[in-house]
Amino acid sequence: MKTGQNDKEMQLFLEKIMAFANKTGIAFITGNIYGGLAGFWDYGPIGVEIKNRIKDAWWTDFVRNRDDIVGYEGAIITHPKIWEASGHLTSFNDPLIFCQGKCKKKHRLDHLVEDQLNINTENLGIDELSKIIKEKEVNCPECGGNLGEPVTFNLMFNTHIGPVQDSASVAYLRPENAQLIFSGFKNVVDSTRVKMPFGIAHTGIVFRNEISPRNFLFRVREYELMEFEYFSNPEKTNDCPDFDEIAEYELNILSQIEQDQNFEEDYRKISVGKAWEKRIFKNKWQAYWLTIFIRWFIEALGIRAEMLRLRQHMETELSHYALDTWDLEYKYPFGWKELMGCANRTQFDLAQHQEFSKSKMEFMEQTEEGIIRYIPYVVAEPSVGLGRILLTVIAEGYTEEVVKGRKRIVLKIHPRLAPYDVSVFPLQKGEKIFAKAREIFENLRTDGFIAYYDDSGSIGKRYRRHDEIGTPFCVTIDYETLEDEQVTIRNRDTMEQVRIPINNLGEELRYQKRNYKIK
């Protein structure tokens, strides 16, 4: 990670991005007229467009355009039993105790009892733990101070169903979407003709009562997750027919090995095929999906390859349900951080739901030997926060250039993600030229483009305004247009202009959008 002066620069960059997002109508802290609410964000007119287009790109590429993934959307307020089965009710409820002495530090009550007294705490509740601490007169391990009364730290938001608020009416706002996919698994299997292996995709808002929200849109308490669970026959978890097609793809990797060795570089380069041969990945499908997503971020969203890496979780880092987890990390202004997570969740969740609900979670498959039944195995769970992609896309795209001695701010984002496809300007004032420009603008809209019309200020000012929000193309109508039926297309990144017949306009814009390359 960078140090010294660079740290300062990076920090200033994040602050610049936040001010930029505010100025251009991308994102605002919610309730800011009342001072703001930490960890919750509102999206403005430009932000909501970019956000929706990112979501649309994801859904189009991973659900609509694939034969092996179907969609699902669960309820936000969830059946409480789901979180008992998933383990969230125990692992999201941490018993904590605060030092009342000098250091004021916070300790996990269960860890304290385990470390200090060597007692297994697995089945002990907060009251029992508290009693043990008092009986054995355990003090703060940091400063020896007295410990106060324990509190429960619940990372799930809860609410009550119905007007009576008692313990029987408690329900939780979902902290992840995955459990809605698992608990709805039978619904999908029974209502559609899915064949193994296949995925169930889900997008939607989740709620986590994070302790300290930080870094703009990065760590927040309410955010939209886009993910799918990819299921396989547990006997065939490495049967990945398309793997060979991507085997040569070069990945930036920081596996457990490099982290154990305190590897000095940010990552090591290796092809996914070689990494699989060396069993750096534990599952072939997981390697496949991680590669597909790396490629998606680079090619479909325009993120620079050197800003992305795959980092494997250390054994101690793994969640209770995961066999192996990889983070797809982006080099944010505040360091390498998770953009997407991809866990191998095994059969854990479906088995849990089978046990708790008494419903069979088995999948029936017709094979040459006859019908076999099994609990499907989740080989990969690519799960990504929409807000984090938005932050990444803005951080990647935000560019300052000097043009003729003046600063030009350009949001160089992929045209597929831009809030407007095209903006239409009449070059001069005049009724005829306005009418022509309006006509072209309306035709572009009819033709399926998200278009904007602007006739205020100088032409240069209009270009700059659209550079800032990332509009990739501006079409200018001048007096000659009225004679020769030609218009000028101006490119956001290069500022170059081409003059083409109006009849070819839609086709040309579509071509340029499809073939867009970020330098």
Among 2, 64, 104, 131, which residue sits at the site for RNA (rule: CB under 7 A)?
A: 104
Stretch near RNA under the rule CB under 7 A, chosen from 116-124, 227-235, 439-447, 488-496: 488-496
Question: Does the footprint of RNA cover residue 314 (CB under 7 A)?
Answer: no
**Minimum gap (Å) between residue 221 Cβ and RNA:** 10
Q: Give the residue with the Cβ less far from RNA, 279 or 404.
A: 404
Regarding 19 and contact with RNA (CB under 7 A), the answer is: yes
* Residue number, 189 or 384, with CB nearest to RNA: 384
Which residues are CB-contacts of 421 (< 8 A; sequence separation ≥ 6)?
415, 444, 449, 450, 451, 471, 472, 473, 509, 513
Task: Out of 268, 438, 465, 513, name the contact with RNA by CB under 7 A.
Answer: 465
354: tokens are 């089978």
Angle at 147 between CA 144 and CA 148, to 5 degrees: 160
Minimum CB distance to RNA, residue 138 (Å): 18
Cα-trace Rg, the chain: 27
Size of the site for RNA (CB under 7 A): 64
- Show the tokens assigned to 457: 């200020």
Out of 59, 334, 356, 434, the residue judged to bind RNA by CB under 7 A: 334
Nearer to RNA, 29 or 188 (CB): 29
SS (H, E, C) 239-281: CCCCHHHHCCCEEEEECHHHHHCCCCCCCEEEEHHHHHHCCCC
Nearest residue (CB) to RNA, 362 versus 455: 455
**500 lies in the binding site for RNA (CB under 7 A):** no
Question: Between residues 159 and 497, which has the closer beta carbon with respect to RNA?
Answer: 497
When the beta carbons of 37 and 194 are compared against RNA, the nearer one is 37
Q: How far apart are CA 396 and CA 412, in angstroms?
A: 8
Binding mask 421-460 for RNA (x = CB under 7 A): ------xxx--------------------------xxxxx
CB of 497 to RNA, least distance (A): 5
- Residue 329 CA, chain-centre distance (Å), reads 11
The number of beta carbons lying within 10 Å of the beta carbon of residue 49 is 20
Contact between 35 and RNA per CB under 7 A: yes
* 146 is a contact residue toward RNA (CB under 7 A): no
The residue among 272 and 475 lying less far from RNA, judged by its C-beta, is 475
Instruction: Provide the minimum distance between the beta carbon of 432 and RNA in the complex, in angstroms, as a whole number.
Output: 14
Q: Kindly state the helix (H) or strand (E) to which residue 246 belongs, with its residue range.
A: helix 243-246
Is 89 near RNA (CB under 7 A)?
Answer: no
* Position among 44, 71, 80, 87 found at the interface with RNA (CB under 7 A): 87
Dist CA 160 CA 77 (whole Å): 10
Q: Which of 49, 110, 176, 229 binds RNA (CB under 7 A)?
A: 176
Q: Which is nearer to RNA, 100 or 169 (CB)?
A: 100
> Rounded to an integer, what distance in angstroms lies between the CA atom of residue 184 and that of residue 70?
12
Please report, as residue ranges, which positions from 62 to 81 form the binding site for RNA (by CB under 7 A): none
Q: Which of 409, 450, 502, 518 binds RNA (CB under 7 A)?
A: 409
Distance, in Å, from the CA atom of 175 to the CA atom of 225, rounded to the nearest integer, reads: 10
When the beta carbons of 150 and 374 are compared against RNA, the nearer one is 150
E strand or H helix that includes residue 350: helix 348-357
Look at the chain and count its residues. Answer: 519
Instruction: State in angstroms the smallest separation of the CB of 164 from RNA.
Output: 28
* Closest separation in Å from C-beta 77 to RNA: 17
State which residue, 166 or 400, has the beta carbon closest to RNA.
Answer: 400
The answer to whether residue 14 forms part of the interface with RNA (CB under 7 A) is yes
> Distance between CA 409 and CA 469 in Å, rounded?
9
Cβ proximity to RNA: between 49 and 94 the closer is 94
Give least dist CB 212 to RNA, A. 4
Crossing angle of helices 431-446 and 505-514, rounded to 10°: 50
Q: What is the separation of C-alpha 395 from the centre of its chain, rounded to a whole number of angstroms?
A: 14
Binding mask 214-233 for RNA (x = CB under 7 A): xxx--x--------------
Does position 13 interact with RNA (CB under 7 A)? The reply is: no
Other C-beta atoms lying within 10 Å of the C-beta of residue 418: 26
- DSSP letters, 365-395, are EEETTEEEEE--EEEEEEEEEHHHHHHHHHH
- CA-CA-CA-CA torsion sign (230, 236, 238, 242): negative
- Give 476's strand partners: 425, 488
Give Cα separations from 156 to 73, 372, 435 (angstroms): 20, 38, 56
In contact, 173 and 205? CB cutoff 8 Å: no
In the list 150, 197, 213, 472, the residue contacting RNA (rule: CB under 7 A) is: 213
Q: Please, what is the Cα angle at 343 between 286 and 271, to 5 degrees?
A: 35
- Binding residue for RNA, selected from 61, 68, 114, 210, defined by CB under 7 A: 210
Tell me if 325 sits within 8 A of 342, measured CB to CB: yes
Q: Cα torsion at 54, 56, 59, 62 (round to 10°)?
A: -60
Q: Toward RNA, which CB reaches closer, 408 or 510? A: 408
Choice between 29 and 77, CB closer to RNA? 29
Q: How far apart are CA 290 and CA 129, in angstroms?
A: 41
By CB under 7 A, name the binding residues for RNA: 11, 14-15, 19, 22-23, 29, 35-39, 87-88, 91-92, 94, 98, 104, 106, 108, 155, 175-176, 208, 210-216, 219, 317, 319-320, 334, 403-404, 406-409, 427-429, 456-461, 463-465, 467-468, 476, 478, 488, 490, 495-497
